[in-house]
Amino acid sequence: MIVGEHKPIRELVAMIEGYDKILMVGCKGCVTVCNAGGKKEVAILASALRIARRKQGKPITIDELTLDRQCEPEFIAWLDDPIKKNDYDAIISLACSIGPQYIAEAFDTMVVLPGLNTSFMGGTIEHGIWGEYCAACGSCEIQNFGGLCPITRCAKGLLNGPCGGSVDGKCEVNKDLDCIWELIYKRMKKLGQLDRLGQKIAAKDWSTSLSGGPRKIIREDLTI
C-alpha cells in the first residue's frame, strides 16, 4: 500500500489561512489502512483545525466527506455535487498525493491542498509501525535476492553483496534497520541458493524507474 501521514497541524493551519469554508476529503483506500486519511482521521483532523481556528478568533466551516478512492476519476466525480452546492474556498485532500492532483485536474477553479505527506510504498510491521519495501523501480529483480529487495531496503542500494559495515545484523547507516544483505544471505541459505549469491548482478537499468520520467501502463486488453 501507499503509506502516508498527515501533515503537522501547524502546517495545515497556516495552509488554510484566509479560507473560511473548506471541504476535507478522505480516502477509504491505502491511507485508511495506515490510519492517515480515512473517515476517522478526517473527523479528528477537521475537529483539530476547527478548534485551532476558533482559538485564533477566526472560526472556520469544514465539511467532511470520504471517497472510496481518490485515485480513480469515477470516485472523484462524487465531489461534483457538494462542490456545486457549496461555496468552498478550498478542498483539503487526505489521500496520498495522487488524490489532490486528481481533484485539482477535475475542478480547475478549486484550490486543492494536500493534507498528507505521501511517504512510501510499504506494509505494516506491527500496529502503528509501517516500513518501506518497494521503490517501484519498474523492473523487479527480487528473484535474485531470495525474494527481498536490496534496492529499497539496503541504505546504499547494493546489488552485489553487503558493504561490510553491518554490526550485529544492523545496517551501519541506521542501526534501527536490519542489514538486508544479512537477511538475504540467511534466506538464500535456507533456500539452498547460496551458490547464486556468487553470480554478478549487472548494473540496474534505471530507465524503467521514475528516473525515466513519469510512467504509464497501457493494458491493451482493457482498453479495446
Given the rule CB under 6 A, which residues bind ligand SF4? 134-137, 140-142, 149, 151-152, 154-156, 158, 162-163, 165-166, 171-173, 179-181
Nearer to ligand SF4, 49 or 179 (CB): 179
- Cell readout for 198 is 556468487
Nearer to ligand SF4, 106 or 142 (CB): 142
Measured CA to CA, the distance from residue 11 to residue 72 in angstroms comes to 27
Give the nearest distance from C-beta 152 to ligand SF4 in angstroms: 5
Nearer to ligand SF4, 66 or 152 (CB): 152
Give the nearest distance from C-beta 143 to ligand SF4 in angstroms: 9
Nearer to ligand SF4, 52 or 155 (CB): 155
Give the nearest distance from C-beta 172 to ligand SF4 in angstroms: 4
Beta strands in the chain (DSSP E): 2-6, 21-27, 61-67, 90-93, 111-114, 116-126, 129-134
**Beta-carbon neighbour count of residue 29 at 10 Å?**
23
Residue type, 170: K
Q: Whose grid coordinates read 483539530?
A: 48
Give the nearest distance from C-beta 94 to ligand SF4 in angstroms: 26
Closest CA to 184 of 141, 219, 126: 141
